[in-house]
Every structure is written in structure tokens, then in C-alpha cells.
Amino acid sequence: MTDTTPRPARAAAVPATACPIAPVVDLVFSRWTTPILWTLHEYGRQRFVELERRIGAITPKVLTQRLRQLERDGLVERTYHAEMPPRVEYEISELGRSLAPLFATLAHWSAAHLPEVERARLAYDDRPAARRP
């Protein structure tokens, strides 16, 4: 006997509902966001040039864009000092600081498991090409 009961159509999975952490990953782990937040958390309030030096390879244009986005998202606070020459400082906000346990957990996972990831990569790369998917 065949079941002919109509079934509700499957709704297409929306990424945000398919994975509830996807919006957080997009927000916090986009390129350069994590190094900026980490640096501000570790070293405190900094001027643009200090932040740029500590992060390293980031361009001024990209740093400016990311800082604006982080300010918009409420994770970074910008303070403008009206003096000559003008001075601008950035610091992690209270909302940004609330990510500290997440970063600490990821740092712990990294120290504990990245060597294992590297071994897995080497083992995979050493396999004959015919056995790779």
C-alpha cells in the first residue's frame, strides 16, 4: 500500500536558520575583524597608526573600512579629539568585550588541535591522487 497523504513542501533552508551561529561567524570572523578586535582587546585604546602597526599586513583603506563596520555593529568605539592636529582613538566596546570568552575558547582549541589538523593535512596530501575524492 502506497502512502498518498500530501506532505507539506519543504521550506528552503535559510542560512541563518539552518545554522544559528552563521550571522555571528559572518560578523566576527570576516577578514581582518578578528585581528582588529583581538588587538583592541589585548592592548586597549589605540590610535589608527598604532592599530595598523600591531596588525601588520592590513592596508589603511581596509583598516578604515573594517573599523567603520565594527563601529556600526557596536563592537568598537571611536573617540574624536578636536585638537590640532585632530586625534582619533579606537577601543573595543563592552559588546565587543563580551566576545572575550569566545576568543579564549578558540585560542585554547587552536593550541590543542591545530597540530592535529596539520598532521591530517599532511596525511591527506601524502595519499595517492587516485584515493582522493
Residue 130 lies in a domain: no
pLDDT in tens, 29-78: 888 999 999 999 999 999 999 999 999 899 999 999 999 999 999 999 99
Residue 63 lies in a domain: yes
pTM of this structure = 0.73
pLDDT in tens, 19-36: 888 888 888 888 899 999
* CATH, residue 55: 1.10.10.10
Distance (Å) of CA 101 to CA 38, 56, 97: 12, 24, 9
Model pLDDT, residue 46 = 96
Is 56 in contact with 62 (CB distance < 8 Å)? no
> Left if phi > 0, otherwise alpha if psi is -120 to 50, otherwise beta: which for 56?
left
Model pLDDT, residue 133 = 64
Residue 112 lies in a domain: no
Number of domains in the chain: 1
Residue 28 lies in a domain: yes
* Domain boundaries, position 45: 15-98
Residue 46 lies in a domain: yes
pLDDT in tens, 106-129: 889 999 999 999 999 999 999 887
